[in-house]
Amino acid sequence: MNRRCTACSGAFYSYEAAKECTQCLRDNYYSLDDNQCYLCPEGTTCTDDGVSTTEHLLIDENYWRGTNQDAIKPVKEAVHACNLPFACLGGTNFSDGGNSYCAEGYQGPLCQVCELGYFFNADEQTCDWCVKGDPSVFTKPIFLVIYAAIGIAILS
């Protein structure tokens, strides 16, 4: 039996001993919706051959993604630069409508909405934690340090 290797065309890639060319080269991602390779858009990182797919695309810090399915909206149209500094963490785990890309205290499209318990600090352009009336105030790390220092001072 004579077996020949056939080179994959375009941005396609195959693993050793693979029967088909289904993986994409670095700088490209594989769309599960139409079985094609596409150039990774701005705001994403595709540094390894055969790793990036529509569903598991690495979104860069300061970028946000509203869907992980090309059928709903193509990746190049679904990845957006964030407007608030430090709001968007990026990552590969799309969940909760894109909130998984948001830093603590942020949520919603482009991570521009402050979570419950946070307020928008217009001067700093950040969502800051509300101290007043928050029953968890005694569990925040900074307050634990302050309370410990007060306790040590009282005991001394």
Q: Two tokens at 105?
A: 């205290």
Question: What is the band of 71 on the pLDDT scale with cuts at 50, 70, 90?
Answer: low
Is the pLDDT at 148 greater than 50, yes or no? no
Is the pLDDT at 146 greater than 50, yes or no? no
> Quick one: average pLDDT of 99-117?
95
Question: What is the band of 31 on the pLDDT scale with cuts at 50, 70, 90?
Answer: confident
Is the pLDDT at 106 greater than 90, yes or no? yes
What share of the chain in percent tops pLDDT 70? 72
Are the beta carbons of 106 and 113 closer than 8 angstroms? yes
Angle at 19 between CA 18 and CA 24, to 5 degrees: 60
**pLDDT score of 50:** 78
Other C-beta atoms closer than 10 Å to the C-beta of 13 total 19
The DSSP secondary-structure symbol of 28 reads E
